[in-house]
């Protein structure tokens, strides 16, 4: 039994997203768990998921999870809010490894952060329509009032590289001004792209509203589960990072570096489905 645990420890974390946004989660996991091996899959050929139907998102997620599980992983991290919002239960039921999404950790952090029990949530259309952040937050404390708002243009703005740009400020004002008057004290960044424009979001809503980055909370949750199950990697070997994508579009290097905070090495293109 002890040997089995030892074997599991050195297995990789399997992490996936609809594209490269999930690299903000990878970045936080590397920071918090520097010994862990990682296999990442980004569905760059079929990105974005935020405007697709639930059925298609579930189909694609199962294909990706099957691929990652075939890489003999010890845990599956769904580093995508859209997938976490519609497919997490199905993935948990289907596979024999712990499955962690980004919603529950973000919801928990928000419930802890709010002092006046008023929380805002922003994300893609699909995430917001699913209402899962609100359900999760209310399952922790039913008295918390949740206001949600889809912000579909933030993803293309980030991918265009308009990180500190007057248009992005204007879009942020259009999407977020209603939060300023609503009296929330915490705002969940419910999309892995949003931490990249964190500064503009913070400036727009003002410094009295605390931003909850679900990437950070998710890295903490992954650490907790590894610890509870005693399967944290304690090896002092340099960890192995493998990145798989379904397409290698132009500017991939430039954009992915922005998300991960470092250059991706060992990137392979594979086709699923």
| Residues that bind a second copy in the complex, under the rule CB under 8 A | 44-47, 51-53, 55-56, 59, 125-126, 129, 152-153, 155-157, 159-160, 166-167, 170-171, 174, 246-251, 271, 273
Give the distance, in angstroms, between the CA of residue 205 and the centroid of all CA atoms in the same chain.
22
The yes-or-no answer on residue 151 being catalytic is no
Cβ-based nearer residue to a second copy, 89 or 174: 174
Structure tokens at 6: 């030892």
| Coil/strand/helix, residue 250 | coil
Structure tokens at 227: 């610890």
User: What is the nearest approach in angstroms of a second copy to the Cβ of residue 167?
Assistant: 5
Residue 122 in contact with residue 148, Cβ under 8 Å? yes
The one catalytic residue among 26, 73, 76, 80: 80
Cβ-based nearer residue to a second copy, 113 or 153: 153
Nearest in space to 22 (alpha carbons), one of 195, 240, 266: 195
The one catalytic residue among 26, 158, 191, 226: 191
Cβ-based nearer residue to a second copy, 225 or 272: 272
User: What is the nearest approach in angstroms of a second copy to the Cβ of residue 117?
Assistant: 30
Nearest in space to 82 (alpha carbons), one of 46, 119, 128: 128
User: What is the nearest approach in angstroms of a second copy to the Cβ of residue 44?
Assistant: 8
Cβ-based nearer residue to a second copy, 129 or 149: 129
Distance, in Å, from the CA atom of 61 to the CA atom of 43, rounded to the nearest integer, reads 9
Give the distance, in angstroms, between the CA of residue 253 and the centroid of all CA atoms in the same chain.
20
User: What is the nearest approach in angstroms of a second copy to the Cβ of residue 4?
Assistant: 39
Distance, in Å, from the CA atom of 29 to the CA atom of 36, rounded to the nearest integer, reads 9
Cβ-based nearer residue to a second copy, 59 or 89: 59
User: What is the nearest approach in angstroms of a second copy to the Cβ of residue 49?
Assistant: 10
Residue 233 in contact with residue 30, Cβ under 8 Å? no
Distance, in Å, from the CA atom of 157 to the CA atom of 170, rounded to the nearest integer, reads 12
Annotated catalytic sites, by residue?
80, 191
């Amino acid at each position: 039994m002890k040997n089995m645990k030892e074997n599991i420890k050195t297995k990789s974390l399997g992490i996936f997203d609809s594209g490269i946004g999930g690299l903000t989660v990878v970045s936080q996991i590397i920071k918090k768990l520097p010994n862990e091996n990682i296999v990442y899959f980004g569905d760059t050929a079929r990105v974005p998921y935020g405007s697709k139907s639930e059925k298609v998102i579930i189909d694609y997620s199962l294909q990706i999870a099957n691929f990652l599980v075939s890489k003999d992983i010890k845990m599956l991290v769904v580093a995508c809010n859209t997938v976490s919002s519609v497919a997490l239960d199905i993935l948990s039921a289907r596979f024999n490894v712990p499955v962690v999404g980004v919603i529950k950790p973000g919801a928990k952090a928000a419930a802890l952060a709010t002092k006046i029990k008023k929380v805002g949530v922003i994300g893609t259309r699909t995430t917001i329509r699913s209402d899962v952040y609100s359900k999760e937050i209310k399952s922790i404390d039913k008295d918390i009032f949740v206001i949600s708002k889809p912000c579909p243009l933030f993803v293309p703005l980030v991918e265009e590289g308009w990180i500190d740009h007057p248009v992005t400020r204007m879009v942020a004002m259009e999407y977020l001004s209603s939060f300023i008057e609503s009296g929330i004290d915490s705002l969940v960044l419910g999309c892995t792209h949003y931490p990249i424009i964190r500064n503009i979001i913070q400036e727009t809503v003002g410094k009295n509203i605390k931003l909850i980055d679900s990437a950070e909370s998710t890295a903490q949750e992954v650490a907790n589960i590894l610890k509870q199950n005693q399967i944290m990697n304690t090896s002092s070997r340099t960890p192995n990072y493998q990145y798989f994508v379904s397409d290698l579009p132009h500017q991939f290097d430039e954009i992915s570096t922005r998300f991960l905070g470092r250059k991706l090495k060992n990137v392979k293109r594979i086709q699923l489905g």
